[in-house]
């Protein structure tokens, strides 16, 4: 096999360009999903966002449109496979395809393990594991037909390391997302579908505000983050653009920890 030609300077510059691409972001009304959706739009992608909160989605769609890109807001519960299938069909019909999938829909329920209600455990698994899988499954079918795509699951540092803060369900669900990412990467590499994951440390959202504003809890979390602060949603944009773009074409099955050094020890 002949050695491939090197990229030209102009081709190098365009590695992160997402012009002409269509992205679908589940959990698009959440802090992570909003930051990533608008970040992808800033690099040229048209973006569909989904969540159970249609009003919040409309605000995100307006922000996407402010970048001069097409936007679509679709209400969807990722724990309902029929709803996911219909949502994917709507995105395909309205935007013509899906080149990038980001599965940022997720929930957390914190209890001591000995007190974890089984119904709360199951809710976490239904959204974080099954919801991730069904989105990948139905978008993956389209990507197989079209000959490729980029899938970015959203996991967590809690999928790698335990924590005394009551994360038995959440951590277990994110560990499952890690392995699902690697499984899909190995199955779908032959279809030129890259499947990678972004794994954040704790970051500022309305859902974590209660934890991060508790001085004792904040201290516990910061002791585990060498960078010395919680993440903010904008910290994840660069990782998402990289994994969504041609810059990562030979990267698959990887978990990218955007965690201020937490996974380093």
CATH number at residue 161: 3.40.50.720
Domain assignment present for residue 184? The answer is yes
Res. 1: pLDDT tops 70 = no
The predicted pLDDT at position 116 comes to 97
* Assigned domain for 185 exists: yes
Domains in the chain, number: 1
Supply the pLDDT for residue 87: 98
Q: Residue 124: inside a domain, yes or no?
A: yes
The bridge status of strand 100-103 relative to strand 46-51 is: unpaired
18: three-class secondary structure by DSSP:
coil
Is 167 designated active site?
Answer: no
pTM of the entire predicted model: 0.96
In terms of Cα–Cα distance, which of 127, 104, 86 is closest to 47?
104
The pLDDT tens digits for 24-37 are: 999 999 999 999 99
Of the residues 170, 218, 242, 257, which is catalytic?
Answer: 170
| Three-state SS sequence of 94-131 | HHCCCCEEEECCCCCCCECHHHCCHHHHHHHHHHHHHH
Please check whether residue 156 lies inside any domain of the structure. Answer: yes
- The verdict on residue 227 lying in a domain is no
Classify residue 164: in a domain, yes or no: yes
Q: Is residue 221 part of a domain?
A: no
Segments forming the whole domain that contains residue 164? 19-204+234-254
- For the CA atoms of the chain, what is the radius of gyration? 18
- How far apart, in Å, are the Cα atoms of 132 and each of 7, 104, 177, 220? 35, 8, 8, 29
* Nearest CA-CA partner of 197 in 237, 239, 153, 233: 153
Q: At 42, is the pLDDT very low, low, confident or very high (cuts 50, 70, 90)?
A: very high
CA-CA distance, 34 to 185, in Å (whole number)? 25
Q: Which residues contact 47 (CB under 8 A, 6 or more apart)?
A: 22, 23, 24, 25, 28, 37, 38, 40, 41, 64, 69, 70, 71, 72
For residue 249, what pLDDT is reported?
98
Asked whether the predicted pLDDT for residue 4 surpasses 90, the reply is no
The pLDDT tens digits for 175-194 are 999 999 999 999 999 999 99
Beta-carbon neighbour count of residue 166 at 10 Å? 16
Q: Quick check: is 73 in a domain?
A: yes
Report the C-alpha gap between 206 and 31 in whole angstroms: 8
């Amino acid at each position: 096999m002949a050695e491939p030609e090197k990229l030209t300077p102009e081709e190098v510059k365009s590695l992160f360009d997402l012009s002409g691409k269509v992205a679908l972001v589940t959990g698009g009304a959440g802090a992570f999903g909003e930051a990533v959706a608008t970040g992808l739009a800033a690099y040229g992608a048209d973006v569909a966002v989904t969540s159970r909160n249609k009003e919040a989605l409309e605000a995100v769609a307006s922000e996407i449109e402010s970048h001069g890109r097409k936007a679509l807001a679709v209400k969807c519960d990722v724990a309902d496979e029929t709803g996911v299938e219909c949502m994917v069909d709507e995105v395909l019909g309205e935007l013509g395809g899906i080149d990038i999938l980001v599965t940022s829909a997720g929930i957390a329920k914190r209890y001591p393990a000995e007190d974890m209600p089984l119904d709360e455990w199951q809710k976490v698994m239904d959204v974080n594991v099954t919801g991730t899988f069904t989105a990948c499954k139905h978008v993956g079918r389209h990507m197989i037909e079209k000959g490729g795509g980029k899938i970015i699951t959203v996991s967590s540092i809690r999928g790698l390391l335990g924590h005394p803060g009551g994360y038995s369900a959440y951590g277990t669900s994110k560990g499952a997302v890690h392995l699902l990412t690697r499984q899909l990467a190995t199955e779908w590499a032959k279809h030129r579908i890259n499947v990678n994951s972004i794994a954040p440390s704790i970051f500022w959202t309305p859902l974590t505000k209660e934890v991060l504003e508790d001085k004792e809890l904040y201290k516990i979390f910061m002791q585990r983050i060498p960078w010395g602060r919680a993440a903010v949603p904008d910290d994840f944009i660069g990782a998402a653009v990289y994994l969504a773009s041609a810059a990562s074409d030979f990267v698959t099955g990887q978990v990218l920890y955007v965690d201020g050094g937490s996974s380093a020890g």
